[in-house]
């Protein structure tokens, strides 16, 4: 395996070579798409907001009726060991993503207890692409793909059932090959993208969809803290596509990229397609926060 890729991962209680990771075709995770997931990343080699990720992980497992153990110290130690096991890879990259997932495992009709499949592995980040989005922006297209209703599964849990995100991005890429698709809710207001929460700046105020419309992002919460620390008001309200298209600034917030901005919405320029005045201030404060959170 290339030394530019992670070589070790954690799988069902032990560390293995990354290329040994697998999910059986008989696993419910494969057969029905039932996969709990949590995505994290490091900044300067340190996992950001780990406890918040563990809390969301616990919430997801409970909602999916998984009886997987969630011990904060155990997870912290496991991640620390995983980073140590991949020290050669980490010396060659500026930072990395971390993926924690679980499935119900293979169904056993004769047993009332499932043998869960659990994994923890590192994920290389495309730092060049992420860096370009921070300084050049990324196109966003508002799609007609509807966010699954909360009665399907709660929007505040993180799962691998992502067909709606995939379709939204495929629709967006018919317009621009680097665009991300923005989903809508049942009433036509916007929700989120496949990789990010969204917020807009209008007349100096930051606005974003309310918590019941999208996954409450941990990165978004750090951005909100940065805004609060610098005295900017943040409000939650339903946002219509026209409000996104006419915003002074449009922000995207997700685990891998942190905070970046949309340079165009539906092909229309956002401002002068350059980093906005408020965005630049918040980005500097966000970069400080992620190294201490």
Every domain of the chain and the residues it spans: 8-125, 131-289
- In three-state secondary structure terms, 175 is coil
What's the CATH superfamily of 131-289? D-amino Acid Aminotransferase, subunit A, domain 2 (3.20.10.10)
Question: Tell me, what DSSP letter sits at residue 156?
Answer: T
Class of domain 8-125: alpha beta
Establish whether domains 8-125 and 131-289 are of one fold. Answer: no
Helices (H), ranges, the chain: 28-32, 50-63, 72-85, 87-91, 127-136, 163-172, 218-229, 241-245, 277-289
293 residues of the chain, pLDDT tens digit each: 455 789 999 999 999 999 999 999 999 999 999 999 999 999 999 999 999 999 999 999 999 999 988 999 999 999 999 999 999 999 999 899 999 999 999 877 665 556 899 999 999 999 999 999 999 999 999 999 999 999 999 999 999 999 999 999 999 999 999 999 999 999 999 999 999 999 999 999 999 999 999 999 999 999 999 999 999 999 999 999 999 999 999 999 999 999 999 999 999 999 999 999 999 999 999 999 998 87
**Residue 185 contacts by C-beta under 8 Å, 6 or more apart in sequence?**
146, 147, 191, 213, 238
């Amino acid at each position: 395996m290339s030394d530019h890729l992670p070589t070790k991962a954690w799988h069902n209680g032990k560390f293995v070579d990354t290329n040994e990771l697998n999910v059986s075709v008989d696993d419910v995770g494969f057969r029905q798409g039932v996969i709990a997931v949590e995505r994290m990343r490091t900044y300067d080699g340190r996992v950001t907001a780990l406890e918040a990720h563990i809390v969301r992980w616990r919430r997801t497992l409970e909602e999916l009726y998984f009886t997987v153990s969630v011990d904060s110290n155990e997870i912290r130690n496991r991640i620390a060991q995983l980073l140590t096991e991949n020290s050669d890879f980490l010396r060659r990259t500026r930072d990395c993503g971390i993926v924690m997932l679980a499935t119900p495992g293979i169904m056993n009709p004769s047993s009332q207890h499932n043998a869960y499949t659990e994994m923890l592995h590192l994920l290389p980040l495309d730092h060049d692409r992420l860096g370009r989005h921070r300084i050049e922006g990324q196109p966003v297209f508002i799609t007609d793909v509807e966010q699954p209703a909360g009665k399907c599964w709660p929007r505040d849990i993180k799962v691998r059932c992502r067909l709606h995100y995939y379709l939204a991005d495929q629709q967006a890429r018919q317009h621009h090959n680097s665009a991300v698709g923005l989903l809508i809710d049942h009433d036509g207001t916007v929700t989120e993208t496949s990789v990010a929460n969204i917020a807009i700046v209008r007349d100096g105020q930051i606005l974003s969809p309310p918590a019941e419309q999208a996954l409450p992002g941990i990165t978004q919460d750090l951005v909100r803290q940065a805004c609060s620390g610098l005295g900017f008001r943040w409000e939650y309200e339903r946002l219509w596509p026209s409000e996104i298209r006419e915003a002074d600034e449009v922000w995207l917030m997700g685990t891998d990229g942190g905070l970046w901005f949309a340079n165009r919405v539906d092909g229309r320029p956002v401002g002068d397609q350059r980093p906005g005045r408020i965005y630049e201030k918040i980005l500097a404060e966000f970069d400080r926060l992620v190294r201490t959170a």
